[in-house]
Amino acid sequence: MPCPWFKDGFCTSPALERPSTDPVIPQKCLGDETVYRACKYYREPTSISLKAAQPYISKFGKPLLLIHSLSKKPSSGCKFFIVEKHESGAYLAACDVLGRYLTRYEVPLCEKHWENCPYRRVGLVLEEQSKK
């Protein structure tokens, strides 16, 4: 039985941003289970991930793993800072006020300077206005 992520000549692994032919090595993809499990793109299939083989999309859109993925779980005292776990195993941080994922270069700013963040202040004002 071939790798469950091998479909129509494409690798559809959740470790990839989108299906691609780049990592396809037919000897591995079509090999037995011990062979394809050794592939660096192999992930344990779940009913959710196999169902889709579609891009990961959340309320913040589709992340670009090259600029949004984080290897360690970030944290911030800001109530608008949201952390998600991507199906690839990486972490994603988002700003609820901006309505988008934060780049890996923006995340340290949110972790360190969240109290003085202008977006946080806007979020708090909007929150107050919605209560009235």
Please choose, from the candidates 106, 105, 57, 62, the residue with its C-alpha nearest in 3D space to the C-alpha of residue 80: 106
Taking only the tens place, the pLDDT of each residue in 39-98 is 988 888 775 444 444 555 678 888 888 999 999 999 999 999 999 998 888 999 999 999
Could you tell me if 40 and 16 lie in one domain? yes
Report the Cα 8 to chain-centroid distance in Å.
Answer: 24
Q: What confidence tier does 109 reach under pLDDT thresholds 50, 70, 90?
A: very high
The answer to whether residue 26 is domain-embedded is yes
Tell me: do 48 and 86 sit in the same domain. no
DSSP 51-99: HH-S---BTTB---HHHH-BSS----S-TTEEEEE-TTS-EEEEETTTT
Q: Given the structure tokens 């692994």, which residue do they identify?
A: 13
pLDDT band at 125 (very low <50, low <70, confident <90, very high): very high
Q: Which residue carries 């992520």 as its tokens?
A: 5
Q: Which domain holds residue 24?
A: 6-52
Tell me: do 82 and 43 sit in the same domain.
no
pLDDT of residue 17: 80
Determine, yes or no, domain membership for 47: yes
Decide: 36 and 3 in contact? Cβ < 8 Å. Answer: yes
